[in-house]
Structure 1
């Protein structure tokens, strides 16, 4: 019997592969800007949005998206105020997200609904949620293609990019919104506690495989897609959580690549 004969698994594979393609596209700029923990801050903010959505009786994903956007813009605003300590902005927003999520979750009556966002529930994605992931994925991929060179420059040096004529403020704003939306939909599918790993670990793998920006991104996407497919297959047949399985597979691949690279270096 084929794993893809079930509608819920078809949706899981479509959503999983799309997220595996876009998270490295977002992640590579985050890593280069030394903001690897931004995924953690936004995912905790998304939990506050989920709780707020459940309390107000609206779609929790919409609540997560709204709070993620507010949190992402907050990080960007604080980062501009204290550029020398920009990583502090992430800690401040993450603390606010954790505190708000902790307080609001105490008022949520259906705790099972809230808990499903902690570790994700990719196999229970609805057609509407899949459509949302498709729209955001197209937006991220189109943005990457249109502003590939600008994001490349900004990732390494924002000041140099600004001097060379790159509209840094506008692209930062657009990138911030796309990051927030990506984290909010990924929180629903792979889990708020796991999404930051999917933004960073594939990039770490890509850096072990490629020396250039382009090769690093391609390697990261390949790792993310392969581990997503393997994670979903394992979760179906073994009965384990897909989100955690995907991230553990990515970490295993990273360790293998590091060991392999170390052996080759010593051999030379």
Structure 2
């Protein structure tokens, strides 16, 4: 098989991996009721990525630093505005994505902003595949070592802290993992649409799952189907895969109640 014949192989593998990694990560975040922070992290990576591209740094590192700074800033502001966490998170989210967009003309960069925001899966390359595999490995290692702690933290965060579980460290680890997953998902669905893959597959199964492990497995299967479906439709219809995957996520939520009534 020549390079011309298998141009779709790496994009298909990246789509499949992202379709699994996002829902697994989203399962942990939803059970911990920290999805709004995930939305913040999703957008907070943008300024770091832009700066990294401007100065020739590794954009994974730039995105990670930017995401952590966004999360820390939100935590500080939450203390200044207690009980108004939603407003703080949304304000920081908007500020970071605005900063990322402003840095592009300020630094005189030539960046395809549409691809950055909405993905360009068909342009995925070996580097994108490697980043996605590394993000998957990091997620697996964290789950293997701290699965019980994540279950405890999702069920009873106050009890987990009282029992001496490393709550702050676990949440910081999830901040890093979420940022990694978001960065590796940029090619597939972009900054704006990655939140759909983090949420929709989990929402479809969260009520029917009896454990975090079951929720992660079910959500990963659904995310894989949504990503593969979006990839297939993109090739067939000559449309961008990222927005198609985002639309399929919404459609899946609309279809579920119909399936239950049936």
Superimposed CA distance per residue, residues 26-83 of structure 1 (whole angstroms, 9 cap, x where no aligned partner): 2122222333233332232222223222332434444323312322343345556766
* Distance across 2 between alignment mates of 1:77 and 1:176: 15
More moved, 91-100 vs 177-186? 91-100
- Provide the residue aligned with 1:11 in structure 2: 10
- Provide the residue aligned with 1:190 in structure 2: 189
CA shift for structure 1 position 217: 2.1
- Provide the residue aligned with 1:48 in structure 2: 47
- Provide the residue aligned with 1:138 in structure 2: 137
More moved, 133-142 vs 211-220? 211-220
Contact 2:115 2:190 (8 Å CA) reproduced? yes
Q: Secondary structure, in 3 states, of the residue corresponding to 1:18?
A: helix
- Provide the residue aligned with 2:238 in structure 1: 239
TM-score, length basis structure 2? 0.87
Contact 1:69 1:181 (8 Å CA) reproduced? no
More moved, 92-101 vs 228-237? 92-101
* Distance across 2 between alignment mates of 1:63 and 1:77: 21
Relative to structure 1, the CA distance from residue 64 to residue 170 in structure 2 (aligned partners, 3 Å threshold; closer, same or farther) is closer
More moved, 203-212 vs 10-19? 203-212
- Provide the residue aligned with 1:106 in structure 2: 105
Figure out how many residues of one structure are paired with residues of the other and give that number: 262
CA shift for structure 1 position 177: 1.1
Contact 1:186 1:195 (8 Å CA) reproduced? yes
Superposition map of 1:27-176 within 5 A: 27-79=26-78, 84-176=83-175
* Distance across 1 between alignment mates of 2:82 and 2:187: 32
TM-score, length basis structure 1? 0.85
* Distance across 2 between alignment mates of 1:170 and 1:22: 21
Unaligned runs of 5+ in 1: none
Unaligned runs of 5+ in 2: none
CA shift for structure 1 position 178: 1.0
CA shift for structure 1 position 176: 1.4
RMSD, aligned α-carbons = 2.7
* Distance across 2 between alignment mates of 1:158 and 1:37: 17
Relative to structure 1, the CA distance from residue 138 to residue 197 in structure 2 (aligned partners, 3 Å threshold; closer, same or farther) is same
Relative to structure 1, the CA distance from residue 80 to residue 16 in structure 2 (aligned partners, 3 Å threshold; closer, same or farther) is farther
Relative to structure 1, the CA distance from residue 85 to residue 147 in structure 2 (aligned partners, 3 Å threshold; closer, same or farther) is farther
Contact 2:67 2:179 (8 Å CA) reproduced? yes
* Distance across 2 between alignment mates of 1:150 and 1:82: 29
Contact 1:201 1:254 (8 Å CA) reproduced? yes
Which of structures 1 and 2 has the larger relative contact order (alpha carbons within 8 angstroms, sep 6+)? 2
Contact 1:208 1:258 (8 Å CA) reproduced? no
CA shift for structure 1 position 146: 2.1
* Distance across 2 between alignment mates of 1:28 and 1:65: 21
* Distance across 1 between alignment mates of 2:52 and 2:161: 39
Contact 2:28 2:150 (8 Å CA) reproduced? yes
